[in-house]
Amino acid sequence: MAVVESGVAADSGAVVQPTSQDSDDQNHQSSRIEVGEEEGLYSKMGSHPGRSEGSDGGESYKREMRELQELFSKLNPMAAEFVPPSLSKQPNAAFFSNNAFPAAGNAPLEVNAYGHDTGGFRRKKSFGQGKRRMNARTSMAQRDDVIRRTVYVSDLDQQVTEEQLAGLFVNCGQVVDCRICGDPNSVLRFAFIEFTDEEGAMTALNLSGTMLGFYPVKVLPSKTAIAPVNPTFLPRTEDEREMCARTIYCTNIDKKVTQSDVKIFFESFCGEVLRLRLLGDYQHSTRIAFVEFVMAESAIAALNCSGVVLGSLPIRVSPSKTPVRPRSPRHPMH
């Protein structure tokens, strides 16, 4: 960092002395000027350009030296002491500085040399985070609202359909969604019922213990919301709705199990399989499958397979909300 030595005679000039505070300044020492040497140079040449012989010659010389100092100082823009204040408040001010040391007698520069936030950058960054926090809070509030409108129903008979379950709660309020899920640890299933308001969910709690099928159901406040179904996968025609009645959704399938294994398993216990789609990826430790049977009775029987071990894991079986659409034929490439 450069320091201007004051207190010397006016005619002898002020010398700009570089320090060894950073390697960048050392690399650019040649760009610093020594006013005394400049004066000697001009003296040897016999005259100083622009210096008049009048009484104001000394002042003119000093002014020109200051202009030269300012001009040559621009040859080293990477030195911290030359960062303009307007740039030091911008996020990219770090580009103009290789250190974070303040000049002597000055306030610390707001630069980000080695990962330290500048004041201006911090304000801009916090504004963006505030927006994200606001969006996160809004999303969380919406999710909490959905959870308060949802109840958890357990001990469901395997033969109970989602339509029958929704019919049980129709007098509590308008049902938005109903989702039955298989439980691998029990022959019974569980479900989630979402209402349009909290009052419907609170009223539904009074139905705990009601007989539905062969078992009394338990109704409790839900701790989670129902995961939405991609609307593009839902049945679009009456034929596809009929296909859904013959289709089951199977999860927690061992990755070592093949599509042929899944088909043989369900045909052995339930009935003939018409279509089967086994899906998985590298991110999940298990796979899922959509199995469409020839007969709707086979799909109902398949619900009893929830909890049965296939491979090394107990599978979960529930009615499918989406049909297994035939794959569109691939057109040959020309």
- pLDDT above 70 as % of the chain: 57
User: Any residues with CB less than 8 A from the CB of 228 and at least 6 apart, and which?
Assistant: none
What is the spatial distance between Cα 82 and Cα 39, in angstroms, rounded to a whole number? 25
| pLDDT category of residue 57 using cuts at 50, 70 and 90 | low
Choice between 236 and 273, residue whose per-residue pLDDT is larger: 273
pLDDT tens, position by position, 27-37:
444 444 444 44
pLDDT tens, position by position, 122-143:
444 444 545 555 566 666 777 7
| pLDDT category of residue 158 using cuts at 50, 70 and 90 | confident
pLDDT score, position 89: 53
Helices (H), the chain: 23-27, 35-45, 57-73, 85-88, 119-148, 162-168, 198-204, 238-245, 259-269, 296-302
User: Domains plus CATH for the chain?
Assistant: 14-106 (no CATH), 149-221 (3.30.70.330), 231-319 (3.30.70.330)
Q: At what angle do helices 35-45 and 57-73 cross, to 10 degrees?
A: 120
CA 179-294-249 angle, to 5 degrees, is 25
What DSSP designation does 276 have?
A: E
pLDDT score, position 205: 96
Are 58 and 67 contacting, i.e. CB atoms less than 8 angstroms apart?
A: no
pLDDT tens, position by position, 205-232:
999 999 998 899 999 999 988 876 666 6
pLDDT tens, position by position, 295-331:
999 998 998 888 899 999 999 888 888 888 776 555 5
Q: Which amino acid is at 120?
A: G
What DSSP designation does 330 have?
A: P
pLDDT score, position 54: 52
Choice between 165 and 124, residue whose per-residue pLDDT is larger: 165
What is the spatial distance between Cα 242 and Cα 136, in angstroms, rounded to a whole number? 40
Tokens matching residue 175: 């049902």
Quick one: residue 256, left, alpha or beta (phi over 0 = left, psi -120 to 50 = alpha)? Answer: alpha
CA distances from 43 to 118, 124, 326 (A): 47, 54, 96
Place of tokens 């025609």: 237
Place of tokens 């009775």: 297
Cα–Cα nearest to 156, from 140, 168, 172: 168
pLDDT at 192 over 60: yes
Q: Which amino acid is at 269?
A: F
What is the spatial distance between Cα 220 and Cα 151, in angstroms, rounded to a whole number? 6
